[in-house]
């Protein structure tokens, strides 16, 4: 193998959205770093079955504004 071609593989702590930590190995960050997740299996709609539609002036709002005169009721 060539030297200096592979990234450093080290241990780090992953913190779930509920605060539960676990240790794994990764090339992300520095050794001993903590990766805090914003979405994980306990909070993602694909696993929980709870779907929320959050749109603050994004694509859905643009679509509704553009087609509001077509008589479609939501």
pLDDT in tens, 22-54: 999 999 999 999 999 988 888 777 777 776 666
Pick from 1-15, 16-30, 55-69 the range whose average pLDDT is largest.
Answer: 16-30
Selected residue with higher pLDDT from 66 and 71: 66
Q: What is the dihedral of CA 42, 46, 47, 53, to 10 degrees?
A: 50
pLDDT for 26: 94
- Contact between 42 and 22 (Cβ < 8 Å): no
Query: CA 15, CA 44: separation in Å to the nearest integer?
Result: 15
Q: What is the mean pLDDT of residues 53-73?
A: 74
Question: 8 pairs with which residues across the strands?
Answer: none
Would you say 37 and 15 are in contact if contact means Cβ atoms under 8 Å apart?
yes
The residue-averaged pLDDT of 53-68 equals: 76
Helix (H, G, I), strand (E, B) or coil at 28: coil
Question: For residue 64, what are its two tokens?
Answer: 């509704």
């Amino acid at each position: 193998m060539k030297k200096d071609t592979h990234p450093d593989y080290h241990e780090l702590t992953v913190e779930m959205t509920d605060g539960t930590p676990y240790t794994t190995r990764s090339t992300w960050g520095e050794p001993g770093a903590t990766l805090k997740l914003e979405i994980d299996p306990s909070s993602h709609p694909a696993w929980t079955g709870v779907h929320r539609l959050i749109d603050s002036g994004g694509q859905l709002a643009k679509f509704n504004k553009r087609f509001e005169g077509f008589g479609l009721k939501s």
